[in-house]
Chains A and B, each alone.
Chain A
Amino acid sequence: MALAKFPIKSPAVHADFSFSTHIDQVGVEERASRFTKRSIKKESKVNGLKLVLNMIDLTTLEGKDTDGKVKQLCYKAMHPHDAVAGIPTVAAICVYPSMVKVAKKALEGSGIKVASVATAFPSGQAPREIKIRDTRYAVNEGADEVDMVISRGKFHAGEYNFVFDEIASIKENCGNARLKVILETGELGTFDKVRRASDIAMHAGADFIKTSTGKIQPAATLPVTLVMLEAIRDFYYKTGKMIGMKPAGGISKSKLALHYLVMVKEVLGEDWLNNHWFRFGASSLANDVLMQIVKEKTGVYQSANYFSVD
């Protein structure tokens, strides 16, 4: 595959990202905890859980992934729990580039998207041409979405324009695929830096901003997601452009997922409360959500053995 010499038709001019708005850690954590005080009961809970399920990027990102494993996961994505009627599918399957073709075929006609990580996921420690090649490969294999990682090393070194250009060049190589930019917030250290990285990603052409690879602790948290949602809101007010949000890693319980929904509802509102603009990157969340949905229907909890492990 011949590569052009990375022409950059930047969607936005470089801004001075050292002037991103300040974030007060104590204030963010306090605000985030207030969302968890909302009481979600009855039909509100059932509707919320179905929405959560429908927002999941069902994920497998392991060295030991095989075609067989990915196919099984795809079946789960389409049929989360057929024993109960009216359960939605998940939003997408998230895999490594080598598994995109298998997933694409398995999901054919279902409407479920295939997301592929790329750009030397998870560390991002590779030259730009490799990252672009990685991206193009995933897109050519049929990925509907590309989940890239930013160069955290360059970001910490203050080379914001490098990070900006890299995102912009990946975006240019995405074709029609939507680009999710993983900030790996667990490696950024402060909310100020999370905010700055969010601003850079959005200005450089991200369609989504995403918290984490799932390989680094801490992964997604409510406060870090709040900082990113507020960045999305400010960007929207500034440019009129909607950006999606994907917290990933560490969200395995329904109750916590509902807290995230509350936060989206109260920070960005109706337009973001769907899987086109909000996703959960998770592998074990789906079964907990299913268990809760069934519980709301039958009044009793079933054993975990009643829900398929894929």
Chain B
Amino acid sequence: MAKTKNNTLKLKFDTSWSYAPAPESKSAATINKQYDLFINGEWQKPLSKKYFDTINPANEEKLSEVADAGEADVDKAVKAARNAYDKVWKKMPAKERAKYIFRIARMVQEKARELAIIESLDGGKPIKESRDFDVPTAANHFFYYAGWADKLEYAFPNRITEPLGVAGQIIPWNFPLLMAAWKIAPAIATGNTVVLKPAETTPLTALKLAEIIQESGLPPGVVNIITGAGDTGAAIVNHPDINKIAFTGSTEVGKIIQRAISGTDKKATLELGGKAANIIFEDAPIDQAVEGVINGIYFNQGHVCCAGSRLYVQESVAKLVIKKLRDRIETLIVGDPLDKNTDIGAINSRQQLETILKYISIGKKEGAEMYESSCRLPGKGFFCRPTMFTNVAQSSRIAQEEIFGPVLSILTFRTDDEVIEKANNSPYGLSAGVWTDKGSKIFNMTRRMRAGVVWANTFNKFDPSSPFGGYKESGFGREGGLHGLSAYVNIVN
């Protein structure tokens, strides 16, 4: 295999021909000064009387303020959902339900540009990603589950199913609109009603979705969207009239939820953390593998539960791969999330930036070799250079713990058995990647890998028809595809 002889050679990516700023216009999006709670089809002032700010992480400016739902507000939302479930939604013919969901899907597409801008403003992700990934995939999820609504007898052949009732759904800040779609679409397609809480740092696109839902004429109370932080989430989890909890977020909170609902008859699906192994064999298509690793860890600033944050490279190609990764990192454009050329936007919050920086300093202390892009960071806002560590040991904290940022840990291996053992040696098991040109090796590896999703010669690919979920501390239950339906129905016969 190719060996790098000339270690002094360097390509210059700071070129005389450069890209002019190409910012997306903010004027295409409307953000209200203040948002109330979306309960029973209308905007209601919070009984708590409290509001909190949501800011733009790229410049730390306030975007809007949103209601902070207290226990009484949660109760109101659950009552609205229960009422809608009993009186309207569960009785409605499935094909009628589907019409509403199709309508929501189309409206998400119609408002795609506005949703993308707001997603980037509120969450810090590059507009390229919100425009080309988050919003279209969200619309696809609505379309996909709208299609299933009146075909459940084919999804569960020779079985009779019924909806669970009221679902409490709590979603994270990394893919705010997309996660809302993942949660709402299968729930209402199967006849459940919903109380959904977006994350406190990124509530705006879920509230925009509430506007869309209102405009779509969906019967009041079928979807209720309420904002708040951890206490609001706890109130949803602990509410006695909730039948199902769907949570995506940290393993820590997942465990709290699991404890809270034990002894109740609430069903749950938990989609939690990850520390995915991405494995490059010496017979891999190296340049495409490098690109896949970049996409695997730096997509959405690394705020991805299935991010390929542990890279295992076979020793014979490790030097080559690392050199190529360093070159590639130099060409990533870090900066204004609204600029169409930005590859890496802002870290979602100050708190998350501090967590990432903490892990970077742990990595240095552990003796791993750090390499980061030489790019300049904007003066304001929360930014972090794409970073990678080489010479990382299996026992390093940066190889074991989820960082949830643009930080890659690189480890090496020699044999297939060794890498399987190391890859599975993690409390998590959400996703993994295998890079090899040899088909038989792919099947051998994927069968032995303890991870919910294993990508071969690609990474971070999502489709509404494909189930997603974890092993071990990455959670349980599957979302997406046919499997995603069974999380929202009881099989009664």
| A interface residues (Cβ-Cβ under 8 A, vs B) | 19, 21-24, 26-28, 30-31, 37-45, 47-48, 51, 230, 233-234, 236-240, 261, 265-266, 268-271, 273
**Contacting chain A: which of B4-12, B241-249, B395-403, B482-490?**
B4-12
Q: Are B4 and A27 in contact (CB under 8 A)?
A: no
Q: Give Cα A239 to B5, complex, Å.
A: 8
Q: Known: A27-B458, A37-B128, A240-B9. Is A21-B286 also a contact (CB below 8 A)?
A: yes
Q: Are B340 and A270 in contact (CB under 8 A)?
A: no
Q: Are A31 and B291 in contact (CB under 8 A)?
A: yes
Q: Choose one: A238, A239, A271; the contact of B12 (CB below 8 Å).
A: A271
Q: Are A23 and B285 in contact (CB under 8 A)?
A: yes
By a CB distance below 8 angstroms, the chain A residues around B6 are 237-240
15 A–B contact pairs at CB < 8 A? A21-B1, A22-B285, A22-B286, A24-B288, A31-B291, A37-B340, A40-B19, A51-B17, A237-B4, A238-B5, A239-B5, A269-B12, A269-B13, A270-B15, A271-B11
By a CB distance below 8 angstroms, the chain B residues around A239 are 5-6
Q: Are A266 and B13 in contact (CB under 8 A)?
A: yes
Q: Are A41 and B20 in contact (CB under 8 A)?
A: yes
B492 within 8 A of A: no
Q: Choose one: A28, A51, A237, A265; the contact of B288 (CB below 8 Å).
A: A28
- Mask for B404-443, Cβ within 8 A of A = 1, else 0? 0000000000000000000000000000000001000000
Chain B minimum-CB-distance residue to A39: B22
Q: Are B340 and A273 in contact (CB under 8 A)?
A: no
Measured between C-beta atoms, what is the minimum distance from B409 to chain A in Å?
A: 23
Measured between C-beta atoms, what is the minimum distance from B281 to chain A in Å?
A: 10
Measured between C-beta atoms, what is the minimum distance from B476 to chain A in Å?
A: 31
Q: Are A21 and B2 in contact (CB under 8 A)?
A: yes
Q: Are B288 and A23 in contact (CB under 8 A)?
A: yes
Measured between C-beta atoms, what is the minimum distance from A90 to chain B in Å?
A: 18
Measured between C-beta atoms, what is the minimum distance from A194 to chain B in Å?
A: 13
The B339-370 residues at the A interface (CB cut-off 8 A) are 340-341
Q: Give Cα A285 to B285, complex, Å.
A: 33
At the interface, is chain B mostly helix, strand, loop or mixed?
loop
Measured between C-beta atoms, what is the minimum distance from B294 to chain A in Å?
A: 10
By a CB distance below 8 angstroms, the chain A residues around B286 are 21-22
Measured between C-beta atoms, what is the minimum distance from A224 to chain B in Å?
A: 14
The B1-59 residues at the A interface (CB cut-off 8 A) are 1-6, 9, 11-20, 22
By a CB distance below 8 angstroms, the chain A residues around B466 are none
Measured between C-beta atoms, what is the minimum distance from B299 to chain A in Å?
A: 12
* 8 nearest A-B residue pairs (beta carbon): A27-B288, A39-B22, A24-B285, A44-B20, A270-B12, A39-B340, A269-B11, A24-B288
At the interface, is chain A mostly helix, strand, loop or mixed?
helix
B463 within 8 A of A: no
By a CB distance below 8 angstroms, the chain A residues around B331 are 266
B302 within 8 A of A: no
Q: Are B20 and A43 in contact (CB under 8 A)?
A: yes
Q: Are A238 and B2 in contact (CB under 8 A)?
A: yes
Q: Are B9 and A270 in contact (CB under 8 A)?
A: no
Chain B minimum-CB-distance residue to A28: B288
By a CB distance below 8 angstroms, the chain A residues around B341 are 38-39
By a CB distance below 8 angstroms, the chain A residues around B288 are 23-24, 26-28, 31
Chain A minimum-CB-distance residue to B327: A233
10 new A-B contacts, CB < 8 A, other than A22-B437, A40-B22, A270-B15, are A21-B287, A22-B284, A22-B285, A27-B288, A27-B292, A31-B291, A230-B287, A237-B323, A268-B11, A273-B16
Q: Give Cα A22 to B327, complex, Å.
A: 20
Q: Are A233 and B11 in contact (CB under 8 A)?
A: yes
Q: Are B15 and A27 in contact (CB under 8 A)?
A: no
By a CB distance below 8 angstroms, the chain B residues around A43 are 20
The B268-294 residues at the A interface (CB cut-off 8 A) are 283-289, 291-292
By a CB distance below 8 angstroms, the chain A residues around B258 are none
Q: Are A27 and B457 in contact (CB under 8 A)?
A: yes
Q: Known: A236-B9, A266-B331. Is A42-B20 also a contact (CB below 8 A)?
A: yes
Q: Are A24 and B457 in contact (CB under 8 A)?
A: yes
Measured between C-beta atoms, what is the minimum distance from B462 to chain A in Å?
A: 14
By a CB distance below 8 angstroms, the chain B residues around A41 are 20, 22
Q: Known: A40-B19, A240-B6. Is A26-B128 also a contact (CB below 8 A)?
A: no
Q: Give Cα A182 to B213, complex, Å.
A: 58
- Among B3, B288, B323, find the residue whose CB has the most chain A CB atoms closer than 10 A: B288
By a CB distance below 8 angstroms, the chain A residues around B13 are 265-266, 269-270
Q: Choose one: B17, B291, B292, B437; the contact of A273 (CB below 8 Å).
A: B17
Q: Are B285 and A44 in contact (CB under 8 A)?
A: no
- Among B15, B18, B284, find the residue whose CB has the most chain A CB atoms closer than 10 A: B15
Q: Known: A266-B331, A270-B15. Is A23-B323 also a contact (CB below 8 A)?
A: no
Q: Give Cα A273 to B376, complex, Å.
A: 23
Q: Give Cα A19 to B317, complex, Å.
A: 14
Q: Give Cα A271 to B340, complex, Å.
A: 26
By a CB distance below 8 angstroms, the chain B residues around A236 are 9, 11
Q: Give Cα A30 to B299, complex, Å.
A: 15
Q: Give Cα A236 to B288, complex, Å.
A: 19
Chain A minimum-CB-distance residue to B287: A230
Q: Give Cα A22 to B286, complex, Å.
A: 7
